[in-house]
């Protein structure tokens, strides 16, 4: 809420004026706003305004939580991508990089194109991540890479 609107709301002492000030600013249909303003019983008018504000507040809180969830998932994905790039740079510096990374990326691409069930995709992704961190010179790496 803008500071000026907040100050205006806080300065209103008459309940009828408060309802009349808030009703036109509600995020409801025009007909509902009109019905609120036409209500002569101040208590009913205030109760309707309060109900509408509470519903809008709840929706805003849900939207904020969803946005935070999406943002945290996105941030986690960014962090993982950054760490993978760092790991690749370190492997290049150590001279440990072979065609393994390219091979894993080709496998990921083929896997995505095959469009397997979600469970299969998740398991395959875990295995590819595992294969990506196994040193290329290890026997396990050689045996896994030789199968594809």
Residues 10-40 pLDDT 10s: 898 888 888 888 888 888 888 888 888 888 8
- Can you read off the two tokens belonging to residue 114? 């095959």
- Can you read off the two tokens belonging to residue 42? 């101040």
Q: What is the pLDDT of residue 141?
A: 62
| CA 131 – CA 111 distance, rounded (Å) | 15
Region 43-71: what's the mean pLDDT? 89
Q: What is the pLDDT of residue 112?
A: 86
Architecture of the domain spanning 1-97 = Up-down Bundle (1.20)
Task: Spell out the domain ranges in the chain.
Answer: 1-97, 98-148
Q: What is the pLDDT of residue 58?
A: 92
- Can you read off the two tokens belonging to residue 115? 């469009």
Residues 80-118 pLDDT 10s: 888 888 887 887 788 766 556 677 788 888 888 888 898
């Amino acid at each position: 809420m803008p500071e000026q609107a907040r100050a205006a709301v806080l300065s209103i002492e008459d309940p009828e004026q408060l309802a009349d000030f808030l009703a036109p600013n509600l995020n409801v249909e025009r007909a509902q706003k009109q019905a609120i303003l036409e209500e002569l019983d101040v208590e009913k008018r205030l109760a309707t305004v309060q109900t509408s504000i509470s519903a809008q507040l709840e929706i805003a809180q849900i939207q904020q939580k969803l946005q935070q969830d999406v943002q945290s998932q996105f941030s986690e994905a960014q962090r993982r991508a950054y760490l993978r790039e760092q790991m690749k740079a370190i492997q290049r510096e150590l001279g440990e990089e072979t065609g393994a990374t390219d091979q894993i990326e080709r496998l990921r691409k083929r896997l995505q194109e095959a469009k397997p069930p979600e469970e299969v995709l998740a398991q395959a992704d875990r295995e590819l991540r595992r294969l990506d961190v196994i040193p290329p010179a290890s026997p396990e790496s050689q045996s896994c890479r030789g199968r594809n």
